[in-house]
Amino acid sequence: MTVTDRPKSHQLEPVAEKVGFDEESMRVELAHGGALVVPLAWFPTLAALPRDVLERYELVAENTVIHWGTPVDEWVSVASLLGQAD
């Protein structure tokens, strides 16, 4: 059995270490040393927020999900940013 043939429960989920922003994108630093940069336009609710609110995220579910609380209650899984099913 290869790694890709293993059931999902045995595959490693991508884990975030921190999240940063510029005017047009969100950068997610990954625990394994890589990083993802995605357009904020993918997330209209987040794109409309002022920077200080964007930076009030929390990493939850063992750092596999990024969450913004009040005023938006937005949830983004790190796996979804990689095009993986949740």
**What CATH number does the domain containing 30 carry?**
3.30.2020.40
- 84 confidence band (pLDDT: 50, 70, 90): confident
Residue 63, phi-psi category: left (phi > 0), alpha (psi -120 to 50), beta (remainder): left
Indicate whether 4 belongs to any domain: no
Q: Contact, 14 vs 22, CB < 8 A?
A: no
In a domain, 86, yes or no: no
pLDDT (average), residues 45-61: 96
Q: Span 27-33, mean pLDDT? A: 96
Strands (E), 2-56: 16-21, 25-30, 35-39
**Range of the structural domain that residue 67 is part of:** 12-80
Q: Is the dihedral of CA 84, 16, 77, 82 positive or negative?
A: negative
Within-domain flag for 43: yes
Q: What is the pTM of this model?
A: 0.83
Examine residue 71 and state whether it is found in any structural domain, yes or no.
Answer: yes
Q: How many domains does the chain have?
A: 1
Q: Does residue 58 lie in a domain region?
A: yes
